[in-house]
Amino acid sequence: MNKETFINLFKDEINDYIVNGKRYVNLDSAATTPPLKAVQDGVDDYLVSYGSVHRGAGEKSKVSTDIYEKSRQVIKDFVGAPTGSYVIFSGNTTGGMNILAHFFSHLDGKVAVSSIEHSSSWLPWIKAEGERSLNSRMVTSLNDMGFVNDLIQKNGNSQVLRYCLNGKGEFDLKQIEKLLRENKIKVFVLTASSNLTGYCPDIQKIGKLVHKYEAYYVVDGCQYIQHHSINMSEMGIDFLVASGHKFYAPYGGGFVVGPKIFLDQFLPYQIGGGNLPYITSDGEFLRYENNLAHDPGTPNAVGAVSMAAALSELKRIGINNIEKYETGLTRQAYDGLAKIKNVKLLVNGKQLTTVIPFIIDGIDSEAVAEKLNNDFGIGVRAGNFCVYHVVRDLLKITPEQEKAIIRDVKRGETGNMPGVVRASFSICNDSEDVTRFIGAVEEIAQRKNKK
C-alpha cells in the first residue's frame, strides 16, 4: 500500500482541515484518532436501519440487533480471542479496567501492575481493592467520608503491587517472576505499548510467567492493536481491553474481551434493564449466561458497530503494512529531531514504535505544543499523559522537586507540573507531515537560541 492509499482512508474534509491558513497536521493519534471513511460510512449505513437493540419486534430493531451482535465476532476475530470469549462493551479502556477491577476485587490475592501503566489501568485496581477491604465499615456521617476515602487508597495501594523497568528501560523477567513467586498474585496487568515511549514489552513471554503462577493476565491494548498484530490465544492473554477512539472509531465504544467461564461466575458490574431475563415477585433477578449479562441498559450500538467497521478496515489494509508504514514515519521524525540542537529525545531509538516524547531545552513543553499549533498548524500534546511515574523518570525529577510539586498542586497551582511533548504518528499522516513537523520544531528551538 502506498502513501496515497493511506491518506485516502480518510475523508477529504478531514485530510484538508485548515488551521490558521495551514493544512492541519495531526500528530496526536496516541490521544485519539480521526474516523476512517469506512467507519463514518458504516455508521451512516447502520443509522438507516437503526432501532432499539434487543428490545423490539420491529424490523429495524431486528436488523440493528443483528448487526450489533455481529460486531462482537468481528472484534473477537481481530484480536484472536480464544473460543468461548465474551465481548463486553465498555465506554473506553478506563471503563473496561473498572469493570475488571470490580470482578477481581471479589477474589483473594493481590494485583500486579506495571510502573508504566496509564493511570486508567492502575487506579481502578486500587479503588476496587480498597473498597473491598472496607468490609462492613459504614460511615455514619459525611464528615467521615474523608477518612474512608484515605483508607480506600491506603488499603488499595497495599494490595496493588508494581513491577518496574530495569536500567535498559525493559521489564526484567526475573524481577517479574520473583514478584509472582513471592506474592499471591491473582491478576497481572500489563500495557501492550507505553502511551509515552511506545515501548512494547514481550507480551507472550511475560504471559507464560503469569500463567505459571496461576494468575490471570490482563492486557491494556489501547495503544497497541491499531499498530501491531495481536492474538490473544497465541499470546496467552486472558483479558484484553481497548478503546474505539484510539483505532479510528470515535463513537464512544470500548471493549473487554475475556473468558465466558470466568465472566459467567459474576453478577453483572452494572444491573438494571436488558441484562437479565426475569425478576421474581420477591425481587430476585435471574441471570443470563451469555454476553448479554454484561450489557446493562440500552447499549451504545453505534460505538460497537463503528469499532467493528474500523477493525474490518484495518484488517483489510493489513496490520503489518500499517506497522511498517507508521514505523517508517516515526523513524523519519526521530532522525530529523535528533539533529536539532537543544532538542532532547526521551525515547530509546531501539524501542521506537509510533510515539516520540521530547523536550526543547529551556522552553516549557506546553509552550512548545502551543507554538506548534498556533504558528505551524501542527497538533501534538504536552503534559504528563496520565503516566506521572514515567514522566518523573524521563525528566529525572528528584524527591525534593516532587515535594515542591505536591505542595503546589495542593495549593491549586498546577503550572509547574513537569511535562514533555509527545508527537504520535499513524496512518492519518504522511512523510510531508513529518517534514513539516521537523521544520517547525527546528524553528522553535532556533528562535529560543536567538533570544
Ligand X SMILES: Cc1ncc(COP(=O)(O)O)c(C=O)c1O
Residues that bind ligand X (CB under 6 A): 92-94, 118, 120-121, 191, 195, 220, 222-223, 243
Q: Which is nearer to ligand X, 116 or 340 (CB)?
A: 116
Q: CA-to-CA distance for 292 and 285, rounded, in angstroms?
A: 14
Q: CA-to-CA distance for 159 and 195, rounded, in angstroms?
A: 25
Q: CA-to-CA distance for 133 and 375, rounded, in angstroms?
A: 52
Q: Which is nearer to ligand X, 191 or 365 (CB)?
A: 191
The cell for 332 is 523519519
Q: Which is nearer to ligand X, 105 or 195 (CB)?
A: 195
CB 352 within 8 A of CB 327: yes
Q: Which is nearer to ligand X, 116 or 444 (CB)?
A: 116
Q: Which is nearer to ligand X, 85 or 120 (CB)?
A: 120
Tell me the closest approach of the beta carbon of residue 126 to ligand X, in angstroms: 15
Backbone angles phi, psi at 68, to 5 degrees: -60, -50
Q: Which is nearer to ligand X, 118 or 127 (CB)?
A: 118
In sequence order, the 6+-apart residues with CB closer than 8 A to the CB of 32 are: 245, 246, 250
The cell for 67 is 448487526
Tell me the closest approach of the beta carbon of residue 17 to ligand X, in angstroms: 22
Task: Count other C-beta atoms under 10 Å from residue 262's C-beta.
Answer: 18
Q: CA-to-CA distance for 78 and 97, rounded, in angstroms?
A: 20
Task: Count other C-beta atoms under 10 Å from residue 362's C-beta.
Answer: 10
Q: CA-to-CA distance for 255 and 311, rounded, in angstroms?
A: 13
Tell me the closest approach of the beta carbon of residue 102 to ligand X, in angstroms: 16
CB 306 within 8 A of CB 255: no
Q: Which is nearer to ligand X, 93 or 275 (CB)?
A: 93
Q: Which is nearer to ligand X, 123 or 292 (CB)?
A: 123
Tell me the closest approach of the beta carbon of residue 30 to ligand X, in angstroms: 6
Q: Which is nearer to ligand X, 256 or 340 (CB)?
A: 256
Tell me the closest approach of the beta carbon of residue 241 to ligand X, in angstroms: 8
Q: CA-to-CA distance for 177 and 256, rounded, in angstroms?
A: 26
Tell me the closest approach of the beta carbon of residue 118 to ligand X, in angstroms: 3
CB 402 within 8 A of CB 412: no
In sequence order, the 6+-apart residues with CB closer than 8 A to the CB of 208 are: 236
Q: Compute the half-sphere exposure of residue 27: CA atoms within 13 Å on the CB side of its CA.
A: 34
Tell me the closest approach of the beta carbon of residue 324 to ligand X, in angstroms: 22
Tell me the closest approach of the beta carbon of residue 117 to ligand X, in angstroms: 7
Q: Which value, to the nearest 10 degrees, does the dihedral of the CA atoms of residues 195, 228, 208, 84 take?
A: 110
CB 258 within 8 A of CB 238: yes
The cell for 137 is 465499615
Tell me the closest approach of the beta carbon of residue 62 to ligand X, in angstroms: 31
